[in-house]
Amino acid sequence: MSKKYQEIDILIKDLQNNNTAAIEYLINQTEAYCNPIFIKYGINKNSFPEIIHDGVLIFLQKLKDFSYDPSKSSPITFVVSICSKLASNHSRYERIRTTQTLIETNHEISDNLNPYFELFEYNKVLFRMLNELGEKCKKLIWLKYIDGFSDDDQIKSKLTDFTTINSLKVTRNQCMRKLSEISKKYKIHYNE
């Protein structure tokens, strides 16, 4: 079997016909080159066959859609190249997944109420700032950004004294500038 496939043309022809022996030959030949690459990327040995099979499947697809050029590389070299990229992606994914797991674990270990207390503190500061604005500005900001009413809905529902969207926007914009100024004195609280 292996001598037969040392002829690249025969191997390619049998791979195009999805010949099981040719696919097995390609997998076996590729393993010897890929295993050191997988080890370099720190991939678990249980994942080696899966990555190689994925690489072979990608190669077979490229062979089918004529995007593989046998004059540039042998099927084995091409599959090793594919597997190397798959290994790199797999390794990157595992690092990200591990990092996310560690972050989630740290949250479980830390005080579960801490985020609620932080949110509570931020809300207290926000309410203080809104109260310093005065009732009119507080209401305009509250309706738009906390209750989520559109400017049109505020006017149609007569939630404010304004009769045009432009006058509402101009006044709310002035209120937002005031809020921005007030927030500077509270900056210490929410930057910590």
Q: pLDDT under 70 in the chain at which residues?
A: 1-2, 93-120, 187-192
Predicted TM-score (pTM) of the model is: 0.48
pLDDT value at residue 190: 45
Q: What is the CA radius of gyration of the chain?
A: 32
Provide the percentage of residues in the chain whose pLDDT is more than 90.
Answer: 20
pLDDT of residue 15: 92
pLDDT number for residue 142: 87
Distance CA 94, CA 185 (A): 44
Q: Do residues 51 and 38 lie in contact, with contact meaning Cβ atoms separated by under 8 Å? A: yes
Q: What is the pLDDT of residue 65?
A: 87
Q: Where are the alpha helices (DSSP H) in the chain?
A: 8-16, 20-40, 48-64, 75-109, 114-133, 135-141, 151-156, 165-191
